Amino acid sequence: MNNGIMINVEKLNKTFGDLHVLKDIDMTVKQSEVVCLIGASGSGKSTLLRCINFLELKDSGLVMIGGEKIEKETHDLNEVRVKVGMVFQHFNLFPHKTVLENVMEAPIYVKKCPKEEAKMEARALLKKVGLSDKEDVYPSKLSGGQKQRVAIARALAMKPEIMLFDEPTSALDPELVGEVLATMKELAEEGMTMVVVTHEMGFAREVADWAVYMHEGRIVEVGHPEQLFSNPKEERTKNFLDSVL
Ligand code: ADP
Ligand code: MG
C-alpha cells in the first residue's frame, strides 16, 4: 500500500565533509508524475537524485520508495536500485560491448534473467527507442543522441518503476537534443514516474506535472512549470531564470 506515492523524501540532509549539500529536502512524487528539477550548478540536484537511488547515502531524514522506508541496514540497496533507473549526462555505455549487449548486460548479471529472454527484451527496447538497426554496432560508432537512447533502453531493461534523468541532454549537440527528449516524452506518456534534472524549459513545460527550483541545497520553490517559469513567486527563482533564459 503506497497510495500511489512512488518517492517520498522527508527532511533529507546530506553533507560531504564540511559541505552541507542537501538541507531538509521534502519531496513527494506520485505514480506517473513527471517532475523537473532546476537550479544552478552546485545546488545539489545530482546529489538529490543520487540519494533517491542510493548511489549516495543520506546523513539524516527519510527516503521512501514505493511506500517503503529504505535504510541500508534493512535493505539490499542493489535491489532497490533495480526499481529506480538512472540516466546520466555522460552515457557510461560499455565501449567493448555492442548496443544489444549493453542493454542485455544488467538483466543477465544482476537479475539472472535467461539470455534468450534478455535478448528478446533488449531488442524490443531498442525498437522502442528507434535503434533496432544498431544492435550489433559498438557505442563509438553512435552519435551522442543515439548513445543516450541506448542508455535509456539499458536503464529500462531492468524494468524500473521510477526513472531519474540527470541532465540527459546537456552533453549533446543541439541538433541531437530533440530525439532524446522525444524518447523521454514517450516514456512519460506511457505513465513512467520520472524526475528529470534539465534546463530544457520547453520539455519541462510540455511534459512535467510540476517543477522544483533548488538553490544552495534547499528547495526554494515548487510549482506548475508554466507558473514557475513565467511567474515565479520567489526572487531567487526569478534571478536564476533570468540568468538561464
Ligand atoms: P548540481 O547537480 O546541482 O550541480 P551536485 O549535487 O553535483 O550539484 O553538487 C552539490 C555540491 O556538492 C557541489 O558543491 C559539489 O561540489 C559537491 N559534491 C557533490 N558530490 C560530491 C562528492 N562526492 N564529494 C564531495 N563533494 C561533492
Ligand atoms: Mg548535477
Phi/psi at 152 (5° precision): -65, -45
Structure confidence by residue, pLDDT tens digits, 14-48: 999 999 999 999 999 999 999 999 999 999 999 99
Residue 89 is predicted with a pLDDT of 94
pLDDT tens-digit readout, 98-135:
999 999 999 999 999 999 999 999 999 999 999 999 99
pLDDT for the residue 189: 97
pLDDT, one tens digit per residue, over 210-223 is: 999 999 999 999 99
List pLDDT tens digits, range 64-83.
Answer: 999 999 999 999 999 999 99
DSSP E strands, the chain: 5-16, 19-30, 34-39, 60-65, 68-69, 84-87, 162-166, 193-197, 210-215, 218-223
Among candidates 45, 73, 77, 16, which has minimal Cα distance to 220?
45
Confidence label for 2 from pLDDT (cuts 50, 70 and 90): low
Q: Give the ligand 1 atom nearest the CA of 217.
A: 10
Pocket of ligand 1 (CB under 6 A): 16, 19, 21, 39, 41-47
Q: Which domains does the chain have, with CATH numbers?
A: 5-41+48-243 (3.40.50.300)
Q: Partners of 222 in the beta sheet?
A: 212
pLDDT value at residue 132: 96
- Which protein residue's CA is at the shortest distance from atom 16 of ligand 1? 42
Using CB atoms within 10 A of its CB, is residue 106 exposed (0-12), middle (13-18) or buried (19+)?
Answer: middle
Pocket probe for ligand 1: among 12, 15, 25, 46, the residue whose CB has the most ligand atoms within 8 Å is: 46
pLDDT of residue 153: 98
Query: Three cell numbers at 11?
Result: 527532511
ipTM: 0.98
Q: Are 105 and 97 a contacting pair, CB within 8 Å?
A: yes
Does residue 163 surpass a pLDDT of 90? yes
- pLDDT of residue 182 exceeding 70: yes
- Reported confidence tier of residue 12, pLDDT bands at 50, 70, 90: very high
Q: How many CB atoms lie within 10 A of CB 156?
A: 22
Task: Give pLDDT, residue 196.
Answer: 98
pLDDT at position 1 over 60: no
| pTM recorded for the entire structure | 0.96
Name the pLDDT band for 3 (thresholds 50, 70, 90): confident
How far is C-alpha 113 from the geometric centre of its chain's CA atoms? 24
How far away, in angstroms, is 43 Cα from ligand 1 center? 8
Q: What is the pLDDT of residue 186?
A: 97
Residue with CA closest to ligand 1 atom 22:
16
b/e per residue, 216-231, with b = 16+ CB within 10 A?
Answer: ebbbbbbbebeebbee
The mean pLDDT value of the chain amounts to 96
